[in-house]
Amino acid sequence: MTLLEVRNVTTAFATGQGEIRAVEDVSFSLDAGEFLGIVGESGSGKSVTALTVMGLLPRPPARVAAGAVLFAGQDLVALPEARLRTVRGPGIAMVFQEPMTSLNPVFTIGEQVIETLRVHERLSPRAQRARAVEMLQKVGIPSPERRLSDYPHQLSGGQRQRVMLAIALACRPRLLIADEPTTALDVTIQAQILDLLMDLRDELGMAILMITHNMGVIAETADRVLVMYAGRVVESAPVDRLFERPAHPYTRGLLDCVPSLAADRPRLVAIPGLQPDPAHRPPGCPYAPRCPIAIAECSRAVPPLDPVAPGHAAACIRADRAA
């Protein structure tokens, strides 16, 4: 069953130099209970995509210039802010990268978990407290009753991210958006949080949309992957397929330049050049200037995201030969 469908969304920002399209013509869908990863480098538009779905971009300067975000059948882009607020929480919840700044330092952990509950559900204070304890327990906070009265600064980075998860999960959302949830954490703590996300998904049956720049994190967690580059989706595939037979040269480049514990390479294969500046994107395929197999035709028109195999699509006119 499709839970979220993003249709041809373009999100633009007004800047001093005119309007910049951070996200261009992005489409994807997410089934209930599915774990979708969006991977890309900084400036690829992955975070803006997530914030567009949440309706959390400040307007102005941002605006959804085209497209629709259908969540359980209703278009979130057209929804007024007041209605959107009822979707956030029980419908879609979000956790962010920075566990240090996402929590308000002057309120206790308990107050902040209960706060979300109070906005969306009518529960007695006792029931609220019980739910808060239950949520903290679910995210693996030891002795949650005692932790309720702690302030954020008394927790480590990993524990704060767990509390953020507890807050996000308090209203039992159907979709959790996680924007680089482990980037600020150490590897051993990152592993714990990723495992926790997987367990919660299985336990609560919610769908997860995870934004990350880390191919390894994707390999460990996602069912399906979107690769973004310069504001566009360049490849979409089931996770096994993506790592075994990447069709887009950018995806292959990304996989080649990540140093790996498993493989011994004498030299990393670097992708030459830089991602194009969003104000001056080249005509045609945005990756063409850096692409090792680009031909003249690549610079003529933006290649459509066409299927290369069942469930696997790539925006590359040379994808046949590439795969």
Partner 1 sequence: MPPPASAPTVPPDAPAALLEAQGLTKHFPLAGGWLARDHGVLHAVDDVSFAILSGETLGLVGESGCGKSTLGRMLLRLIEPTGGRVLFEGRDILALDARGLREQRRVMQIIFQDPYGALDPRLSVEAIVREPLDVHGVARQEAQRRVAEALDLVGLSRRYLGRFPHEFSGGQRQRIGIARALALRPRFIVCDEPVSALDVSVQAQIVNLLQDLQAELRLTYLFIAHDLAVVKHIADRVAVMYLGKIAEIAAKRALYANPLHPYTQALIAAVPVLRPADRAHGRARRRLVGGEIPSALHPPPGCRFHTRCPHVMPVCREREPRLAEPEPGQFVACHLYPGS
Partner 2 sequence: MPGEAAVLDAAPVRGRSPAAETLGRLLHHRLFVSGLVLFGVILAAAVLAPVIAPADPTRIAMRQKFLPPGAGHLFGTDNLGRSLWSRVIWGAQLSVLMGLAVVGLNAVFGTAVGALAGYYRRLDNVLMRINDALMAFPAILLAIGITAVLGPSTGDVILALAIVYIPRTARIVRSSVIVVREMEYVQAARACGAGDWRILRRHILPNSMAPLIVQLSFLFAYAVLTEATLSFLGLGAVPPTPTWGNIMAEGRQYMVEAPWIIAIPGVALMVTVLGLNMLGDGLRDVLDPRLRVQQ
Cα dihedral value 310, 233, 255, 242, nearest 10: -10
DSSP state of 88: B
- DSSP string covering 240-254: HHHHHS--SHHHHHH
Beta carbon of residue 273, minimum distance to partner 2 (angstroms, whole number): 3
**Residue 64: its H or E element:** strand 62-71
- The Cα–Cα gap between 187 and 159 comes to 14
Q: Evaluate whether 61 touches 14 at the Cβ level (below 8 Å).
A: yes
DSSP state of 293: T
* SS3 call for 168: helix
| Partner from partner 1, partner 2, none contacting 234, C-beta within 5 to 8 A by type | none
| Partner from partner 1, partner 2, none contacting 77, C-beta within 5 to 8 A by type | none
Picking from 35, 54, 37, 50, the residue whose alpha carbon sits closest to that of residue 207 is 35
Beta carbon of residue 41, minimum distance to partner 1 (angstroms, whole number): 4
Q: Evaluate whether 70 touches 7 at the Cβ level (below 8 Å).
A: yes
- The Cα–Cα gap between 187 and 4 comes to 31
| CB closer to partner 2, 166 vs 254 | 254
Question: Which residue of 16, 60, 188, 296 would you call a contact of partner 1, by CB under 8 A?
Answer: 188
The two tokens of residue 269 are 């294969």
Tokens 């030459």 correspond to what residue?
272
Question: Which residue of 136, 217, 234, 316 would you call a contact of partner 1, by CB under 8 A?
Answer: 217
| CB closer to partner 1, 67 vs 231 | 231
Number of residues that bind partner 1 (CB under 8 A): 44
| Partner from partner 1, partner 2, none contacting 320, C-beta within 5 to 8 A by type | none
Contact mark string toward partner 2, 266..285, x via CB under 8 A: ------xxx-xx--x-----
Cα dihedral value 43, 275, 191, 54, nearest 10: 20
Amino acid (1-letter code) at residue 176: L
| Partner from partner 1, partner 2, none contacting 289, C-beta within 5 to 8 A by type | partner 2
Sheet (strand 62-71) strand order: 18-31, 2-15, 62-71, 74-75
Stretch that binds partner 1, among 52-60, 80-88, 188-196, 202-210 (CB under 8 A): 188-196
Question: Which residue of 65, 290, 302, 323 would you call a contact of partner 2, by CB under 8 A?
Answer: 290
Stretch that binds partner 1, among 1-9, 92-100, 114-122, 239-247 (CB under 8 A): 239-247
Q: Helix 157-169 to helix 187-204 angle, to the nearest 10 degrees?
A: 20
| Partner from partner 2, partner 1, none contacting 236, C-beta within 5 to 8 A by type | none
Amino acid (1-letter code) at residue 271: I
**Residue 54: its H or E element:** helix 46-54
Question: Rule CB under 8 A: is residue 289 a binding residue for partner 2?
Answer: yes
| CB closer to partner 1, 54 vs 165 | 165
Beta carbon of residue 270, minimum distance to partner 2 (angstroms, whole number): 8
Residues in 243-272 at the binding interface with partner 1, rule: CB under 8 A: 243, 253-255, 257-262, 265, 267-272
Question: Rule CB under 8 A: is residue 240 a binding residue for partner 1?
Answer: yes
Question: Which residue of 187, 280, 310, 321 would you call a contact of partner 1, by CB under 8 A?
Answer: 187
Site for partner 1, rule CB under 8 A? 41-42, 156, 158-159, 186-192, 194-195, 198, 213-217, 219-220, 222, 239-240, 243, 253-255, 257-262, 265, 267-272, 274-275
Where does this chain bind partner 2 (CB under 8 A)? 272-274, 276-277, 280, 289-290
